[in-house]
Amino acid sequence: MPPHNAAPDPNGWYNPAQCQRQSRLQAPNVQNAPQHPPGLSISPRVVDPPSQFESEQVHEHWRGRLAPFPGFSSKSILLPMKGIQLGEDDKEGPETQSPPDSNPELIPPMSFFGPNYRRKSSSKPKAKKTEKKISENTKKEFQLDKYADSFVPQYLKKIQLEIHPLKPLPPIPIFPSPTYLQSFLSSRSISTSLKYNLNLLSSPPTAPNSKPPSLGKETYHQHWKEILQWELDAITVKKEQIVLWKMGVKVVAWKDAEFVLSVPGIRENHPYLEIGDLVHMREVLEAQQKGSGHAVEARVVALRKREGLIHIASQTLREHIQTHVALSPTTKLEDGFAVYGPEDDVPLKFNVSFMMNARALCYMETAVAAVAEFLNDEAPGTNLTRQWIFPEPEDYVKAPSKKMRDAEIKETQWVDSGLNDEQRLAVKSVVLYQSPVPHLISGPPGTGKTRTVVEAVLQIFQVQLDACILLCAPSNPATDTLALRLQKNLLQDEMLRLNDPNRTFAEVPAALTPYCYVENDRFALPPWKKLMSYRVVVCCCLDASILVRAQCSNTALMAMEDEVISTLHPYRKTKYLAQPHWTHLLIDEAAQGSEPELLIPFSVVVPPVIAEKTVAKAFMPQIALCGDINQLGPLISSDEARAAELEVSLLERLFERPLYSDFIEATRKVSINGHGRSTASQRLPPYTRLVKNYRSHPAILMPPSAIFYNDTLEPCAENGKVVWKGLSNPDLPLKFIGDESPEESSDERASWFNPGQINAVVDVIKSLLADPRASNPPLRPAEIGVMAPWRVQVWKLREKLRQEGLSAVDVGTVEVRILLALSPIPGFRNHCIYLPSRTTKVVKAELLFFPAFVQIQDSWKRTIRKGWEWYWSARGGWPFARSFSCLTLKNRMNVAITRAKELLVVIGNGSLLQSDPYWKSFLQFAQRNRLYEGPKLALEMDGNYISRLESRLLLSGKAAAKLDAEERGVVLAASAAREILRE
């Protein structure tokens, strides 16, 4: 529906019918009235055509909703926001609306009238008539709803639906720059590199009830394109619904046009913002209860999450203040223009909204398109792309078993001499053999997956002297962890930590700074010759797109090499065989990224089809994926995309293929040699499963081993012992404390905290430290980790602990961009879901919290409502209040309960958590072993998920004596059933 007071121009764009500049604040006298600063455009009728970014390839559905890419600026007109909806009362004609000067009383919330009251929709009720309907009893029963949405006056919403002239900010520079590309590319290649692939935005998303094409070689691109469009649309809609109403600004640095804006929700990444994001500010005339018709654009330059503040830079905002704010006797002047400082009050209010950045999803779609092109290449030869994406048993069995010449890892060559046999086998499979399919490494928490990946990189570095390795992880913190471990053994000219230019220096660990390339106070690409000389390049999956745009993928580099050689030697009879620059791709935490996201580094390494006659001479790049499909996977905003399995990682999908799910049986069917034995039986399997846990006490492993890992975990940790009087059984250092305390919110529900749980935490910690020398070794406050769901909860916990002299206790929040990133390392700060340590201190005791108001619905399609509102999307930062899947909850619980080393304490609302089948099994374990304390739970002991470790404990010694006949029978039956199923 077109906005009011607007008419379409010949190009179909809506222009303001009239937009007169109105001076809201009159200057004290004409002489002091401000003049227009140079360069300020004040002609609202002049509307430039859409920017090239939107006019050429972007469909109407996306126009005006997405931030322009680098090299492009916004349009000079701000279109109405699509995420704003007016109430029924505001759709009436002007003659029925209250005059602007009136001050109508607000209708009380629905809870005021009682559950049976229904408001009539025919007309707007008058305040006096409403009062008659409210009985004295309902007044006494009235309680404010702390979960209700904040009230927003309708005139503020109307401002968002008006067209505003806009003076765009200068575009962000293109990266890599044309100057950089000119240093090694031809003019034709440079032109290709500077173009953005906007295929994802060329059409609107398909209907939600439609199904994308099935996942296959021919339909691969279209399948993922439709799903990514659903995801982009869902994230965009959610971001459009985030508006900060009637906000003021403060000056930070007037000369640099830098201001500070309060955004309390960024404490919980709501909205999720990054440096360089665009902010739109529509001016509000509070006294007149309308908009001024003016809007300005700003760009985020700094984030202060603890204070809930962001810094924005906007030359147009500074000019707007100089033009429209009346001078006062105390206003400072320079060259006739007003100058403001941090101590000055800027008397302007704005509705603030944030533009969606679609670059990440567009880069994913570009990678999908590139991979799909190679998938469907019908040229004769070895299609390595198809073997990576859709590996078949025959690909592995019939391919020659290639071992590197004279390659071996001697005992003295192991950098990490503490690796077990499984970990060493995984390293040898990646380093010493050329596998035609990806090698998969899986393992539960604490089994040393990242340790194995790091050793594999170091061994490739030693064994294959001409290898160039691309090492990735789905997030920057996980990537930093890999680089931190490698920097102990690699020099600065051997490894590059590649970062996006918009990443701040504060985010990068100090030890990694020498391994980063910086230019003009920003992260950048090193000179091309230097880039090619690095043996190891470490970056997150998304930042691998920098290499693609710089034409530094295997495909581009091999084509460049062919072109140069054929030009230099046009009469050479023997065809030159170009070799891939990137010989290995290793991705850690691969289960935490979606398949399109992992395809970005894939598109860097994938080579063209290898001709049959050159297979023996060609080097096939090697792929290794490492992760745990039972832990947190990619976070998805769209219900439709989730239903189409965007949250199923590439690692999980590959493990479901016959080659990996049943290696021996699948390969036996492919080829039987003359002696009746499978040729595959002599080959190493294309996967390695790690099961030895070196972190946790056996009691802590009992529930996750049975629930998530088919009862395969083997406890190998050599931990001390925490002695605590709160444990009913000293041999089982685990406890569930039921707590149903209500929570409170801060800053209009920008964050939450639970006073009752805060007190429970402090009581547990004080009890733990009542006799620290009883533990072996003595327990120190610094070895206790607490994990809380909200930042405010964390800060209040820290404040409370400081008051008790326990400031050394580490308290962490659940910020998903960190939650998804770091691989398990010794030392965690634990409280609520999963927060890895940023130091190397060993945490012996873990306290785990769950909100008291978790409400689990019957339908697993929309499982969680308010209880998980603090769980944010990795890219969007919006609450998953209504779109959690059962799989997400299962994996999230697994991550939560597998962090602790010597003691695990869970505090939560057991009566609500028992509605979840996995938490029900955990609570049954706690009650079965007398480890539950709190309100009585109505749980039946059905014997589900009883591990070998628990059976051994319950059926022997003192524990067996405590079981009655019925409980003992349940344990025996569960043990027998488990063994039958395993066989």
Q: Sorting pLDDT into bands at 50, 70 and 90, what band is 848?
A: low
User: Facing residues of 302 across strands?
Assistant: 311
pLDDT the model gives residue 856 = 28
User: Facing residues of 439 across strands?
Assistant: 624
Per-residue pLDDT tens over the stretch 904-934: 888 888 888 888 888 888 998 998 888 999 9
Say whether 872 sits in a helix, a strand or coil. Answer: strand
Position with higher pLDDT, 573 vs 837: 573
Q: Sorting pLDDT into bands at 50, 70 and 90, what band is 479?
A: very high
| Lowest pLDDT segment from 343-347, 584-588, 827-831 | 827-831
In this prediction, residues 724-749 reach a mean pLDDT of 81
In this prediction, residues 303-313 reach a mean pLDDT of 90
843 burial (CB, 10 Å; 0-12 / 13-18 / 19+) is buried
Of 652, 688, 696, 632, nearest in space to 446 by CA: 696
pLDDT the model gives residue 862 = 30
DSSP code at position 702: H
User: Facing residues of 283 across strands?
Assistant: 350
pLDDT the model gives residue 948 = 79
Computed over every residue of the chain, the mean pLDDT equals 77
**Contact partners, residue 695, CB within 8 Å, separation at least 6:** 445, 446, 717, 824, 826, 898, 901
Question: Which letter, b or e, does each residue of 705-726 get, where b requires 16 or more Cβ atoms within 10 Å of its Cβ?
Answer: bbbbbebebbbebebbbbbbee
Q: Can you list the pairs that 967-974 forms with residues at least 24 positions away whose Cβ atoms lie under 8 Å?
A: 967/928, 967/941, 970/941, 970/942, 970/943, 971/943, 971/946, 973/943, 974/943, 974/944, 974/946
Q: Sorting pLDDT into bands at 50, 70 and 90, what band is 125?
A: very low
Q: Which two tokens stand for residue 431?
A: 């380093």
> Is residue 849 pLDDT above 80, yes or no?
no
The residue type of 272 is Y
194 burial (CB, 10 Å; 0-12 / 13-18 / 19+) is middle
Position with higher pLDDT, 88 vs 363: 363
691 burial (CB, 10 Å; 0-12 / 13-18 / 19+) is middle
Beta carbons within 10 angstroms of residue 689's beta carbon: 16
In a 13 Å sphere around the CA of 823, the CA atoms on its Cβ side amount to: 31
> Is residue 445 pLDDT above 70, yes or no?
yes
Distances (CA, A) of 849 to 739, 757, 835, 897, 935: 10, 8, 12, 11, 16
Q: Which two tokens stand for residue 938?
A: 């109505």
Instruction: Give the DSSP per-residue string, 941-975.
Output: ---TT--HHHHHHHTSHHHHHT--HHHHHHHHHHH
| Lowest pLDDT segment from 104-108, 285-289, 522-526 | 104-108
In this prediction, residues 958-978 reach a mean pLDDT of 59
> Is residue 335 pLDDT above 50, yes or no?
yes
pLDDT the model gives residue 388 = 96
What pTM does this model have? 0.81
**Contact partners, residue 210, CB within 8 Å, separation at least 6:** none
Position with higher pLDDT, 130 vs 900: 900
pLDDT the model gives residue 120 = 38
In this prediction, residues 817-839 reach a mean pLDDT of 27
In this prediction, residues 138-148 reach a mean pLDDT of 53
Say whether 687 sits in a helix, a strand or coil. Answer: strand
Is there a contact between 192 and 185 (Cβ–Cβ < 8 Å)? no
> Is residue 35 pLDDT above 90, yes or no?
no
pLDDT the model gives residue 49 = 40
In 448-559, the DSSP E strands lie at 469-473, 495-497, 518-519, 522-523, 536-540
In 764-896, the DSSP E strands lie at 784-788, 810-813, 845-849
> Is residue 431 pLDDT above 80, yes or no?
yes
| Rounded-to-integer distance, Cα 761 and Cα 741, Å | 12
**Contact partners, residue 844, CB within 8 Å, separation at least 6:** 719, 720, 722, 775, 779, 783, 784, 901, 902, 903
Distances (CA, A) of 947 to 257, 696, 710, 910: 62, 16, 9, 22
| Lowest pLDDT segment from 182-191, 657-666, 716-725, 741-750 | 741-750
pLDDT the model gives residue 194 = 74
What is the H or E stretch that residue 890 is in? helix 886-897
Q: Sorting pLDDT into bands at 50, 70 and 90, what band is 600?
A: very high
DSSP code at position 792: H
In 563-621, the DSSP E strands lie at 584-587
pLDDT the model gives residue 541 = 97
**Contact partners, residue 914, CB within 8 Å, separation at least 6:** 920, 923, 937, 938, 939
| Lowest pLDDT segment from 567-571, 620-624, 627-631 | 567-571
The residue type of 608 is P
| Rounded-to-integer distance, Cα 33 and Cα 333, Å | 12
> Is residue 880 pLDDT above 60, yes or no?
no
Q: Sorting pLDDT into bands at 50, 70 and 90, what band is 134?
A: very low
pLDDT the model gives residue 813 = 53
Pairing status of strand 584-587 against strand 469-473 = parallel
In a 13 Å sphere around the CA of 72, the CA atoms on its Cβ side amount to: 19
| Lowest pLDDT segment from 37-41, 71-75, 127-131, 261-265 | 37-41
Any alpha helices (H) in 527-681, and if so which ranges? 528-533, 545-549, 554-568, 595-605, 639-643, 650-655, 658-661, 663-668
pLDDT the model gives residue 159 = 94
In this prediction, residues 681-686 reach a mean pLDDT of 73
Q: What are phi and psi of 600, to 5 degrees?
A: -65, -55
> Is residue 705 pLDDT above 60, yes or no?
yes
Distances (CA, A) of 219 to 61, 225, 226, 602, 909: 24, 10, 11, 18, 46
What angle do helix axes 595-605 and 359-375 make, rounded to 10 degrees?
Answer: 60
Any alpha helices (H) in 18-104, and if so which ranges? 52-55
> Is residue 175 pLDDT above 70, yes or no?
yes
| Lowest pLDDT segment from 169-178, 396-405, 465-474, 751-760 | 396-405
What is the H or E stretch that residue 626 is in? strand 622-627
Largest CA distance in the chain: 105
> Is residue 229 pLDDT above 50, yes or no?
yes
Is there a contact between 86 and 158 (Cβ–Cβ < 8 Å)? yes
